[in-house]
Amino acid sequence: MILTEAPVVTAALEAAVRAPSPHNTQPWLFEVGSDVIGVVLDEDRVLEVCDPDRREARLSCGAALLNLELAIAVAGRSCDVEFLPEKDRPELLARVGIGPRHRASAAEQRLAASIRVRYSNRRPFASTPVPTGARHAVRRAAGDEGAKLVLLDEVGLLEAVAGLIRRADHLQTLDDRFQAELRAWTRESGGNDGVPAYAGGPRPSGGLLPVRHHGESEQAREFERDPVVAVLTTPTDGPLAQIRAGRAMQRALLTATSLGLSASFYSQPMEIPSARAVLRSLLGENAHPQAVFRLGYGFPGSTTPRRPVGDVLRIMR
């Protein structure tokens, strides 16, 4: 039981912790005061090997922030967000003030309903094509947050980026420190963080792109040969851009979920600076790539565990 009597705060925090994060590290804390919630980057949960500059952690916190805002909206309250509100506390990424009564829109209700059922589906997808309408909707969702979602098959870059992802994946396979970090966040059973074996997906065999293997099964399965791969980009980079990118990423993922689509990440080229630089050159120098993920119709899977709200809560007096 969390130490607040406000149902809107409880609902907001329960939604926030459902955001995606690399290796399911859940790198966030929430400071709760009188009608205010601060979103704090938890330095103890940053992946020092694959995310030393905290970029992926900020994206995750940005995704948690959007969940927080949606839950507040459907609880019947408005909110006001201030980004990076204290210069001497860079880990305080945002402060959300809970405002007066608010009537949630149909879009807010639809996205909020998708928070609990969204998960990273690391299994092969069906061969069913993603229709044009769904593609437009997911692109539009990212655009609503100031980002751009590039669907690689539509711009003739799928093969080039696929090669880049394969090379980055190979480099991480050879990196003992990366592999040790991956193993440290892979769970055989139990726990409330990390990627459990049941959600890890099979070892990939064939298919255009490698999916990161967390050890569900050593039996190899073939993945789709014609995946829909999206790259989320922002016009600038840096902490603020990365927080906003996390919001855009989550809005796109929740929109995809509401349309019956599954998604999972190709984080490999984002975690190797040289690979990310090549990806940027492929997309254009004015595009800063922030996330790469595939979209498609997935077979049923399982959500990953989350820490209890009480474990990520700080009460501000």
Of residues 103 and 209, which shows the higher confidence score? 103
**What is the percent of the chain where pLDDT is above 70?**
91
pLDDT at 219 over 70: no
For residue 124, what pLDDT band results from cuts at 50, 70 and 90? confident
Of residues 303 and 143, which shows the higher confidence score? 143
Least confident of 31-40, 219-228, 233-242, 299-308: 219-228
pLDDT reported for residue 85: 98
pLDDT reported for residue 301: 81
pLDDT reported for residue 90: 97
Average pLDDT over the chain, rounded to whole?
92
Write out pLDDT tens, residues 142-191: 999 999 999 999 999 999 999 999 999 999 999 999 999 999 999 887 78
What is the arithmetic mean of pLDDT over 195-224?
Answer: 66
Neighbouring C-alpha atoms within 13 Å toward the C-beta of 276: 19
pLDDT reported for residue 256: 98
Q: Name the strands in the sheet holding 288-296, side by side, starting at the edge strand that comes first in the sequence.
A: 148-151, 228-234, 288-296, 262-265
- Reduced 3-state DSSP string for the chain: CCCCCCHHHHHHHHHHCCCCCHHHCCCEEEEEECCEEEEEECHHHCCCCCCCCCHHHHHHHHHHHHHHHHHHHHCCEEEEEEECCCCCCCCEEEEEEEEEECCCCHHHHHHHHHCCCCCECCCCECCCCCCHHHHHHHHHHHHHCCCEEEEHHHCCCHHHHHHHHHHHHHHHHHCHHHHHHHHHCEECCCCCCCEEHHHCCEEECCCCCCCCCCCCEEEEECCCCCCEEEEEEECCCCHHHHHHHHHHHHHHHHHHHHCCCEEEECCHHHCCHHHHHHHHHHHCCCCEEEEEEEEECECCCCCCCCCCHHHHEEECC
pLDDT at 213 over 60: no
Of residues 317 and 242, which shows the higher confidence score? 242
pLDDT reported for residue 2: 39
Q: Residues 202, 123: contact at Cβ < 8 Å?
A: yes
pLDDT reported for residue 3: 41
pLDDT at 272 over 90: yes
54 phi and psi angles, rounded to 5 deg? 70, 15
Which positions ≥6 away from 274 have C-beta within 8 Å? Answer: none
Reading the block at residue 35, the tokens are 């009608």
pLDDT reported for residue 302: 81
Write out pLDDT tens, residues 30-42: 999 989 999 999 9
pLDDT reported for residue 102: 95
Of residues 300 and 205, which shows the higher confidence score? 300
Q: pTM score > 0.75 for this model?
A: yes
Of residues 227 and 253, which shows the higher confidence score? 253
Distance CA 107, CA 155 (A): 29
pLDDT at 292 over 50: yes
